[in-house]
Amino acid sequence: MDMRVSFGGLSLKNPVLTASGTFGYGLEFMPYGDLKKLGGLVVKGISLKPRQGNPMPRIAETPAGMLNAIGLQNIGVEIFVRDKLPRLPWRETAVIVNLYACAAEEFGELAARLAGEEGVAALEVNVSCPNVSEGGAAFGAAPSQIRRVTEAVKRSAGDKPVIVKLSPNVTDIVAAGRAAADGGADILSAINTLTGMAVDVRKRAPRLANVVGGLSGPAIKPVGLRCVWQLARALPLPVIGIGGIASAEDALEYILVGAHAVQVGTATFLRPDTAFRLVDEIDALCGELSLQSFEGYRGSLSI
Ligand SMILES: Cc1cc2nc3c(=O)[nH]c(=O)nc-3n(C[C@H](O)[C@H](O)[C@H](O)COP(=O)(O)O)c2cc1C
């Protein structure tokens, strides 16, 4: 089986990536597998300045999933470039930097800082900053904002492919994807977490200090599949599937509905070697299904 995939200016040795925020800066996972085995890794969301994140507790377990409200804790772009990036095997495995900001200009500045870094294969734009002045709704929910942010990143990104990561917390995911395409995105990734909350009846208190958080894990896979299917059918851009992927079958489900690659997120919290194992398991499942490459299988769902 030829596991290689190429799309939107990215060439990966296999379609398995790690999802931002669930794989640290990559280095933390070296004890669990060979990073060079992965198609790529997406690092924790990086902002211009370091961020402390939200108060604890920031994680709560839910049926078939988890809620998190980490609050984009990160070391900031300068320390990432100085201390982390040089230690990653970026020549062998694509290192994708997830960008976090709350204004189009800030996104542009981040992209400009990373555009010249040889070790960065692509930029992934997280448009899910909560807009406090508008009741906490993510500003990435508005297509006009998504377009503006995408344009700002694309203008400063040089020749790095720009991936726009879409939030499922919208009524029309295709409108969001189209806005990213109009802004010049090379690739879409979907989905980010679904907004949710959990409460404790005895303490009469929320389980997260931030009250609301993002739901992830197996519980959201049907939503992710639906979003990727809608995006891949409606738009000419390649899509990276995310949401509840823990097995080779999960990954092939996303490819069947149109994804070019997948990202493994919450499953890594259960087993830190999940993404590494998935590379072999996908190969084995493709053998079982007699697939020579992903080309003929991708998007071949019969309806
Ligand atoms: C603890 C945690 C932190 C996350 N941090 C980020 C982040 O910094 N940037 C981002 O775009 N997505 C972030 N996400 C979302 C994931 O990358 C992914 O889109 C989501 O969890 C759905 O995939 P999963 O069901 O496989 O976890 C985070 C998710 C979790 C669970």
Determine the distance from the C-alpha atom of residue 27 to the mean position of all C-alpha atoms in its chain, rounded to a whole number. Answer: 18
267 C-alpha to ligand 1 centroid (Å) = 11
72 known member of a binding site: yes
Residue 141: the pLDDT is 80
Torsion of CA 266, 271, 275, 278, to 10 degrees: -110
Residue 128: the pLDDT is 81
Parse the chain into domains and list their residue ranges.
5-288
What residue owns the CA closest to ligand 1's atom 4? Answer: 21
Instruction: Taking the CA atoms of 108, 233, 225 and 255 in sequence, report the sign of the dihedral they define.
Output: negative
**C-beta separation of 137 from 130 below 8 A:** yes
20 known member of a binding site: yes
**C-beta separation of 138 from 165 below 8 A:** no
What residue owns the CA closest to ligand 1's atom 11? Answer: 126
131 known member of a binding site: no
214 C-alpha to ligand 1 centroid (Å) = 8
Which of 22, 51, 102 is the best mutation target for the ligand 1 pocket, counting ligand atoms within 8 Å of the beta carbon and taking the most? 22
Per-residue pLDDT 10s for the chain (303 aa) are 899 999 999 999 999 999 999 999 999 999 999 999 999 999 999 999 999 999 999 999 999 999 999 999 999 999 999 999 999 999 999 999 999 998 999 999 999 999 999 999 999 999 987 655 555 556 678 999 999 999 999 999 999 999 999 999 999 999 999 999 999 999 999 999 999 999 999 999 999 999 999 999 999 999 999 999 999 999 999 999 999 999 999 999 999 999 999 999 999 999 999 999 999 999 999 999 999 999 999 999 999
282 known member of a binding site: no
Query: Across-strand partners of 17?
Result: 40, 263
Q: Which residues of 126-137 are buried (b: 16+ CB within 10 A; e: fewer)?
A: bbbbbeeeeeeb
102 is annotated as an active-site residue? no
Residue 131: the pLDDT is 56
Cβ < 6 A, ligand 1 pocket: 19-22, 44-45, 68, 70, 72, 98, 126, 165, 192-193, 216-217, 220, 242-245, 265-267
**C-beta separation of 250 from 282 below 8 A:** no
In angstroms, the Cα distances linking 40 to 46, 206, 275, 300 are 17, 36, 10, 25
Query: Across-strand partners of 130?
Result: 138
Q: State how far the Cα of 185 lies from the Cα of 237, in Å rounded to an integer.
A: 8
Nearest to 114 by CA among 82, 74, 81, 154: 81
Residue 140: the pLDDT is 72
19 C-alpha to ligand 1 centroid (Å) = 6
Q: How far apart are the first and last CA of the chain?
A: 26
23 C-alpha to ligand 1 centroid (Å) = 9
Which tokens sit at 115? Answer: 């555009």
208 C-alpha to ligand 1 centroid (Å) = 16
Q: pLDDT (tens digit, 9 = 90+) per residue, 169-185?
A: 999 999 999 999 999 99
Ligand 1 atom nearest the C-alpha of 66 is: 31
CATH number of 5-288: 3.20.20.70
195 known member of a binding site: no
Q: Which residues of 42-58 are buried (b: 16+ CB within 10 A; e: fewer)?
A: bbbbbbbeebeebeeeb
Place of tokens 């994708």: 96
Residue 129: the pLDDT is 73
